[in-house]
């Protein structure tokens, strides 16, 4: 089972691994554009790939991934649809 807080925390860890920066904190930063947080196009692709690896799913081409909060909502929704994996999240 994946709860939103656990997903958000794990997503924050992935963000830090990819960007080398702490995950966005506070409502304004978390709801703002990923580009305004300094994410480059290459960083965006790396982030999406790292999230796929961490949570075990593939993104749909039509997923709106415009902010950290939107990213967390998508990950939580996709994670809920995955079967439980022993030892996994």
Q: Can you give the pTM of this predicted structure? A: 0.82
| Residues 34-76: tens digit of each pLDDT | 999 999 999 999 999 999 999 988 888 888 889 999 999 989 8
Contacts of 15 (CB under 8 A, 6+ apart): 21, 22, 23, 24, 47, 68
Residue carrying structure tokens 């947080």? 37
Sign of the CA dihedral 25, 73, 13, 48? negative
Residue 84, pLDDT above cutoff 50: no
**Are the C-beta atoms of residues 35 and 3 closer than 8 Å to each other?**
no
| Residues 6-20: tens digit of each pLDDT | 888 999 999 999 999
DSSP state at residue 62: T
pLDDT at 82: 57
DSSP state at residue 2: -
């Amino acid at each position: 089972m994946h709860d939103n807080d656990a997903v958000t925390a794990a997503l924050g860890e992935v963000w830090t691994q990819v960007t080398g920066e702490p995950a966005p904190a506070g409502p304004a930063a978390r709801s703002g554009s990923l580009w305004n947080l300094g994410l480059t196009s290459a960083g965006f692709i790396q982030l999406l790939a790292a999230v796929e690896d961490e949570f075990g799913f593939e993104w749909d081409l039509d997923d709106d991934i415009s902010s950290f909060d939107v990213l967390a909502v998508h990950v939580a929704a996709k994670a809920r649809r995955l079967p439980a994996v022993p030892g996994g999240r």
